[in-house]
A and B are shown apart, each in its own frame.
Chain A
């Protein structure tokens, strides 16, 4: 199981503009919340540490029980232990069932159990009655839950979620939050999620990663961060003075 993700001087530019320049160490099996204003580089960081996009420079080390992988982008087996659910994730033009089974089929897991595994996960996100519906016809909240089911069914070592509850109503927000908490507690796996809800960050996470203009300004325990941020910027952000 992956125990540590270590990014050193990760840099990313788009069109000559540096949008990310930071170092990061994730080495607990807790829940990490990345917060920060729009455009601060949260999604970019998530894509890089989930091995979907290469940084322009810097080094990424991912450590397993047994070995550590340096700049592991080409390592498919490792990549398959990490799953990212993007914000407004794009579902396939296919049934909910086929969306959720997709990653399992790629991994060629025991084909006899596929149906059962998919059905269990779809039930967890409360979409059993929609399992044969074309996923792209669902409401945005149902699509978001399908996207999460599609990731959870793979039982990844690390789960990255970019604004997982962004278009959900309060009830479904609660459902997803509980799923995240349960899964973290039961399996003891690391979850890194981006959220714009400070309330969600406060109630859900063990650690806060606060980003501003492509940099990680603060990485603190959640209770410490909200009680007394170590930085002036952190202070201003939680009191709504910067955005």
Chain B
């Protein structure tokens, strides 16, 4: 067996042997990303509400900012968060550095601009006739926008999946603020980097396969939903 074949073989046996370390890593990953996603969705919903229904100074600036942040390099988020949370930083007293909470914040900060930016763009570029139809049937401004969101459900769902993709795939920021502490902040992506670095490919490959499966499942579910109607 070649080296690569052997690594894959060991990776599969690792997955099927219900390795506790592996499952610990997966669990941390899912818990951190799941919480970050919920946080990102809540903040995005709030931001979209503000942008759609409220007039305030600096609104155009906020939109530009969100669009800029969509392409924000993850390591920059990691760096900023690191500086904020480090012992001598302004939020140092919270002692959040190298905790799952810090990683949740990092991921949420990365996903929020994507979800907000893409959803808001979809809402803005929607056919105005949809909203007009709802209004003429007696909807309030808010009800008409809810109907619009319902009409745009697939574009909005796609933007949520894009946000989820960015957050699950990310390494740089979580590594900086979470470290890679075994059994505590060790995640799938960070372990892949560390293990591959050490030359231990089997765990890295096993995690890679599982990440791929997760991505495949999410996109498959999205496709299924779109197909259904």
Q: From DSSP, what is the main secondary structure of chain B's interface residues?
A: helix
> Is A83's CB under 8 angstroms from B151's CB?
no
Residue numbers in B under 8 Å from A103 (CB-CB):
137-138
- Residue-wise, chain B 133-156 has the 8 Å CB interface mask toward A (1 for contact) of 111111110010001001100000
> Is A90's CB under 8 angstroms from B137's CB?
no
> Can you sample 17 A-B contacts with CB below 8 Å?
A76-B138, A76-B140, A84-B136, A86-B136, A88-B129, A90-B129, A90-B130, A92-B133, A92-B147, A102-B147, A103-B137, A106-B137, A106-B138, A106-B139, A106-B143, A134-B229, A154-B138
Residue numbers in A under 8 Å from B5 (CB-CB):
none
Instruction: Report which residue of A50, A103, A154 has the largest number of chain B beta carbons within 10 angstroms of its beta carbon.
Output: A103
Instruction: Report which residue of A50, A84, A92, A147 has the largest number of chain B beta carbons within 10 angstroms of its beta carbon.
Output: A92
Q: Which 3 A-B pairs have the closest CB atoms?
A: A90-B129, A103-B137, A80-B138
> Is B139's CB under 8 angstroms from A52's CB?
no
Contact of A90 among B133, B140, B143, B150 (CB under 8 A): B133
> Is B138's CB under 8 angstroms from A83's CB?
yes
Q: Does B132 sit at the interface, judged by CB under 8 A?
A: yes
Residue numbers in A under 8 Å from B130 (CB-CB):
90, 92
Question: How many Å from the CB of B53 to the closest CB on chain A?
Answer: 15
Q: Which of B22-77 contact A (CB under 8 A)?
A: none
Give the total of B residues in contact with A, Cβ under 8 Å.
Answer: 17
- Residue-wise, chain A 53-93 has the 8 Å CB interface mask toward B (1 for contact) of 00000000000000000000000100110011110111111
Residues of A within 8 A of B (CB): 47, 50, 52, 76, 79-80, 83-86, 88-93, 102-103, 106-107, 134, 147, 150-151, 154
Question: How many Å from the CB of B141 to the closest CB on chain A?
Answer: 10
Could you count the A-B residue pairs with CB atoms below 8 Å apart for me: how many are there? 51
> Is A79's CB under 8 angstroms from B151's CB?
no
Residue numbers in B under 8 Å from A84 (CB-CB):
136
> Is B133's CB under 8 angstroms from A91's CB?
yes
> Is B151's CB under 8 angstroms from A93's CB?
yes
> Is B137's CB under 8 angstroms from A86's CB?
no
> Is B133's CB under 8 angstroms from A89's CB?
yes
Docked pose: A86 CA to B140 CA in angstroms: 18
Instruction: Report which residue of A76, A90, A134 has the largest number of chain B beta carbons within 10 angstroms of its beta carbon.
Output: A90
> Is B143's CB under 8 angstroms from A86's CB?
no
Residue numbers in B under 8 Å from A154 (CB-CB):
137-138
Could you list 20 further interchain pairs (A-B, Cβ under 8 angstroms) beyond the known A88-B129, A151-B137? A76-B140, A80-B138, A83-B136, A83-B137, A83-B138, A84-B136, A86-B133, A86-B136, A89-B133, A92-B130, A92-B133, A92-B150, A102-B137, A103-B138, A106-B139, A106-B143, A107-B138, A147-B133, A150-B137, A151-B136
